[in-house]
C-alpha cells in the first residue's frame, strides 16, 4: 500500500459559479467567490468548466484567448492574468476551471494542413481551439495547463446533441501536478471523467485528488454526474472533486450543477444543488491510507492477468 499520498490535511473549495455571457463580469465575480472560499479556509480553489464564457461550440472562438507562448500578454489572455493575480491575492492554489484557448498554427489548415479532419485549423485559417484549464500557485506562477483530452461529442435522440469536435481539437496528455505541501493532484475536464484509464493512471502515479471542472447537462447530469465521481473515487481510493457552473435556464446550455466532493471510500462528502454556491471540504491526511488498508486493492492487483495501465500514459504535449 502506498502511504501518505496526502502529506497534510487540506481544505478544498469548489466554486459553483453563475457564469454569464459577460467575460469581465465573470472574472470579477469569480474573484469575489474565490476570496469568499479562501476566507472559509480553502487552500485549493476550483472554478467550473468554461467559467468565463457560455458553454457552446459557437461561443468558443468568440471568447478564446491566446496562452502561448507563455506567459501571454494581458491583451492575449486577460483570464491568465486575472487568475494569476487572484491566486496571489487569495494566497491559494487555483484550478481555473477551463477557458477556450486559441492557437494560431499559421499556414493553411493547422498543424498538418488537414483542415476539417480533426487535427485543427477547422476554419481554414490555421487557428486551432482547445478547452483548457490553467492551474496557478499562491505565488501567481502557472503550474500546469490541461487541454481537454476527450471531446464531448454525443447524440442522445430527443435529449441532447453536442459536438465539441466541430470546433475544438483535443489535448494529448495527462495532467499531474505536484503541490509540494500536500502531494500530487490530477486535473482533467468534464468528459475526461468518463475515461477511467486517465484517472487510474493519475492515481497510480500518486495523485491523492482528481479534479474535474465540468458542465454536465440535465440529461447526462441526472444519469451520471455523481455516479462518475463516485466510481472514479471508488476505483482509485482517492478524493474526487467535480465543479460545475450553476444552472441558468436562460442560457443555451443548461448545466447540471451539483458540484461535489467525494471521499476515497466513494462517499459523497458534500454536494450543492443547482444554484450558485461554494463547497469547502477538508481532505484528511491518512484517510486514503485508512481506506486502502481496509480494502487493499493496491496489493491485490493481478498484473499477471491484465496489463498495468499506469505503465503507460503521456504527460508532456
Ligand X SMILES: NC(=O)CC(=O)C(=O)O
Residues that bind ligand X (CB under 6 A): 152, 190-191, 194, 215-217, 220
- 139 vs 90: CA distance, rounded Å: 10
Residue 228 to residues 185, 195, 212, 216, Cα–Cα distance (Å): 18, 10, 11, 11
Nearer to ligand X, 193 or 234 (CB): 193
Residue 86 to residues 30, 35, 110, 256, Cα–Cα distance (Å): 9, 8, 34, 27
Nearer to ligand X, 43 or 254 (CB): 254
Output the smallest distance, CB 2 to ligand X, in A. 29
Nearer to ligand X, 126 or 245 (CB): 245
Classify residue 11 by burial, with Cβ atoms within 10 Å: 0-12, 13-18, 19+: middle
Nearer to ligand X, 152 or 182 (CB): 152
Nearer to ligand X, 39 or 159 (CB): 159
Output the smallest distance, CB 190 to ligand X, in A. 3
Nearest to 120 by CA among 105, 112, 110: 110
190, 243, 274, 276: which is the annotated catalytic residue?
190
Helix (H) or strand (E) holding 23: helix 23-39
Output the smallest distance, CB 11 to ligand X, in A. 27
In this chain, which residue has its C-beta nearest to ligand X? 220
- 17 vs 82: CA distance, rounded Å: 16
19, 49, 226, 243: which is the annotated catalytic residue?
49
Nearest to 86 by CA among 94, 97, 78: 94
Output the smallest distance, CB 112 to ligand X, in A. 25
Q: Write out the three cell numbers for 311.
A: 505503465
Concerning whether 282 is annotated as a catalytic residue, the answer is no
Cβ 169 vs Cβ 118: under 8 Å: yes
148, 164, 243, 274: which is the annotated catalytic residue?
148
Output the smallest distance, CB 291 to ligand X, in A. 26
Q: Grid cell 461535489 — which residue?
A: 260
Concerning whether 148 is annotated as a catalytic residue, the answer is yes
The residues that are catalytic are: 49, 148, 190
Amino acid at each position: 500500500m502506498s502511504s501518505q499520498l496526502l502529506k497534510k490535511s487540506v481544505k478544498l473549495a469548489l466554486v459553483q459559479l453563475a457564469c454569464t455571457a459577460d467575460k469581465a463580469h465573470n472574472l470579477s465575480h469569480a474573484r469575489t467567490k474565490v476570496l469568499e472560499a479562501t476566507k472559509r479556509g480553502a487552500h485549493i480553489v476550483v472554478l467550473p468548466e468554461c467559467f468565463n464564457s457560455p458553454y457552446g461550440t459557437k461561443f468558443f472562438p468568440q471568447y478564446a484567448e491566446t496562452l502561448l507562448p507563455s506567459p501571454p500578454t494581458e491583451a492575449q489572455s486577460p483570464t491568465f492574468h486575472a487568475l494569476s493575480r487572484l491566486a496571489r491575492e487569495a494566497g491559494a492554489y487555483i484550478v481555473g476551471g477551463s477557458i477556450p484557448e486559441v492557437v494560431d498554427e499559421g499556414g493553411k489548415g493547422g498543424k498538418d494542413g488537414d483542415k476539417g479532419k480533426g487535427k485543427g485549423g477547422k476554419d481554414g485559417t490555421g487557428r486551432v481551439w482547445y478547452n483548457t484549464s490553467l492551474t496557478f500557485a499562491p505565488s501567481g506562477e502557472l503550474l500546469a495547463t490541461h487541454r481537454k483530452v476527450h471531446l464531448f461529442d454525443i447524440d442522445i435522440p430527443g435529449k441532447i446533441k453536442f459536438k465539441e469536435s466541430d470546433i475544438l481539437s483535443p489535448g494529448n496528455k495527462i495532467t499531474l501536478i505536484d503541490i509540494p505541501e500536500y502531494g500530487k493532484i490530477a486535473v482533467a475536464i468534464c468528459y475526461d471523467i468518463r475515461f477511467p484509464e486517465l484517472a487510474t493512471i493519475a492515481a497510480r502515479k500518486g495523485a491523492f485528488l482528481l479534479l474535474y471542472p465540468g458542465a454536465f447537462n440535465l440529461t447526462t447530469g441526472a444519469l451520471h454526474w455523481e455516479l462518475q465521481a463516485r466510481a472514479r473515487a471508488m476505483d482509485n481510493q482517492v478524493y474526487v472533486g467535480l465543479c460545475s457552473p450553476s444552472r441558468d435556464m436562460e442560457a443555451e446550455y443548461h448545466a447540471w450543477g451539483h458540484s461535489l466532493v467525494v471521499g476515497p471510500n466513494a462517499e459523497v462528502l458534500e454536494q450543492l444543488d443547482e444554484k450558485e454556491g461554494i463547497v469547502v471540504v477538508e481532505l484528511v491526511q491518512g484517510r486514503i491510507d485508512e481506506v486502502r488498508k481496509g480494502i487493499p486493492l493496491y496489493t491485490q492487483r493481478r498484473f499477471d492477468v491484465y496489463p498495468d495501465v499506469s505503465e503507460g500514459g503521456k504527460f508532456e504535449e
